[in-house]
Amino acid sequence: MKKTRLNEIHKTLGAKMVAFGGFEMPVSYTSIKEEHHCVRQKLGVFDVSHMGEFFVEGPQALPLLQHLCSNDISKLVPGKAQYNYFPNRDGGVVDDLIVYQLEEQKYLLVVNASNIEKDWKWVNEINATFNATLTNASDDYSLLAIQGPKAITAMQSLTDFDLSSLAFYAHTTTTFADLDNIIVATTGYTGAGGLEVYCKNDQVAALWDAVFTAGQAHGIQPIGLAARDTLRLEMGYCLYGNEINDTSSPIAAGLGWVTRPATGFINAENIGTEKAQGTSEKLVGFEMIGRGIPRSGHTIVNATGQTIGRVTSGTQSPSLGKAIGLGYVLAENAVEGSEIFIQIRAKNIAASVVKLPFFSS
């Protein structure tokens, strides 16, 4: 099992460590509820150095990425980022990712930790006919996500760059915490605002210390992966392995907004047809009416007990004080306000389909 460079620091802070994406990662330090509220109300820091980083460079970088990615990469300019997924040839999703354009012919792809090897093999397979310059820097980079409404104010003391000037899904390479060539981005996974900071591994310990010093007066705390999951779920964000996978339709998963078939990406014709005609099932958000917490794998049924879908993620929402979940249901049951039932411990517990996101600040 791999470890991030901050592994010993997490243990010193009393973190509960678990296996995640091939890494030993902190799942919580105090409690999920406390850490969740810290991010929603103040600011917290996630070590997400397990994520993968690929650099794609050269005159063939754009043609390669247009073929690999679902979104229109030509819309990017240096300093901007874009959410994407890699379609596969069978209608599923290889992975979801963020693409940053660093320079005119240089891009950074940030992929999920559990998919680094699979993604790297896939990108190289497709690149065989493009010949872009590829670098897998996943073992060289660390990443801190500093999330929360006080994050930008608290971190401003660490850089001369005006952090408030960064729009959502923007980035810059600057000096940060007296460290050079740091990538600072606004592509968060919590819906609470804030920054992501990419650095080389030998810089991350100093960066961690500087971030906590700068945030001390604002109530900063370290945050584990469990709160990261409750935060993303309140926003209705997909998690690879739960809502999307190698066999799931990206259109059924609600990713039509980042699907641009006209660019000619892999399997664009079939996915484009799904986008135009719809799918037999759809990913929906739901709130529990009856008592019970939905979990991944629970069956979803209708009022007569017929199976109509499955839960992909579920939790007790700390912000809302109620149980929520995401799941696939038949298209006719996906209408906002529809009553559905979640099978929990052999009981059918009532729930209602709701509009996403569950939480808005």
DSSP string, 234-265: HTT---BTTTB-TTS-TTTTT-GGG--GGG--
Residues 27 and 79 in one domain: no
Residues 125 and 144 in one domain: no
Strand ranges (E), 51-111: 52-57, 81-87, 93-103, 106-111
Residues 43 and 145 in one domain: yes
Domain stops at, among 106, 131, 156: 131
Q: What is the C-alpha to C-alpha distance for residues 156 and 102, in angstroms, rounded to an integer?
A: 22
β-pair type (93-103, 81-87): antiparallel
**Structural domain includes residue 250:** no
Segment 165-169 long-range contacts (CB within 8 Å, at least 24 positions apart): 166/195, 169/80, 169/81, 169/82, 169/83
Q: Check residue 114 and report its DSSP letter.
A: G
| Tokens (6 digits) for 300 | 């979803």
Q: Which residues contact 265 (CB under 8 A, 6 or more apart)?
A: 66, 67, 68, 69, 70, 87, 271
Q: What is the pTM of this model?
A: 0.97
Residues 20 and 58 in one domain: no
**Structural domain includes residue 244:** no
**Structural domain includes residue 150:** yes
| Tokens (6 digits) for 58 | 């050269």
Residues 215 and 296 in one domain: no
Strand ranges across the sheet with 44-47: 171-176, 179-185, 194-200, 141-147, 44-47, 221-222
* Domain tally, the chain: 3
Residues 41 and 92 in one domain: no
Residues 226 and 346 in one domain: no
CATH number, residue 213: 3.30.1360.120
DSSP string, 129-152: TT--EEEE-TTTEEEEEEESTTHH
CATH number, residue 73: 3.30.70.1400
Q: What is the C-alpha to C-alpha distance for residues 232 and 262, in angstroms, rounded to an integer?
A: 30
CB 66, CB 52: distance < 8 Å: no
CATH number, residue 291: 2.40.30.110
Residues 112 and 190 in one domain: no
Domain stops at, among 199, 234, 269: 234
**Please, where are the H alpha helices in the chain?**
7-12, 32-41, 61-68, 116-127, 151-155, 204-215, 225-234, 268-277
Residues 117 and 157 in one domain: no
pLDDT in tens, the chain (361 residues): 999 999 999 999 999 999 999 999 999 999 999 999 999 999 999 999 999 999 999 999 999 999 999 999 999 999 999 999 999 999 999 999 999 999 999 999 999 999 999 999 999 999 999 999 999 999 999 999 999 999 999 999 999 999 999 999 999 999 999 999 999 999 999 999 999 999 999 999 999 999 999 999 999 999 999 999 999 999 999 999 999 999 999 999 999 999 999 999 999 999 999 999 999 999 999 999 999 999 999 999 999 999 999 999 999 999 999 999 999 999 999 999 999 999 999 999 999 999 999 999 7
Whole-number pLDDT of residue 360: 92
Q: What is the C-alpha to C-alpha distance for residues 339 and 301, in angstroms, rounded to an integer?
A: 10
pLDDT tens per residue across span 188-238: 999 999 999 999 999 999 999 999 999 999 999 999 999 999 999 999 999
Residues 103 and 123 in one domain: yes
Whole-number pLDDT of residue 361: 78
Q: What is the C-alpha to C-alpha distance for residues 92 and 316, in angstroms, rounded to an integer?
A: 29
Question: Which phi and psi angles does 152 have, rounded to 5°?
Answer: -65, -40
Residues 153 and 219 in one domain: yes
Domain of 303?
Answer: 280-354
Distance of CA 360 to the CA centre of its chain: 17
Distance of CA 50 to the CA centre of its chain: 13
Q: Residue 142 forms beta bridges with which residues?
A: 199
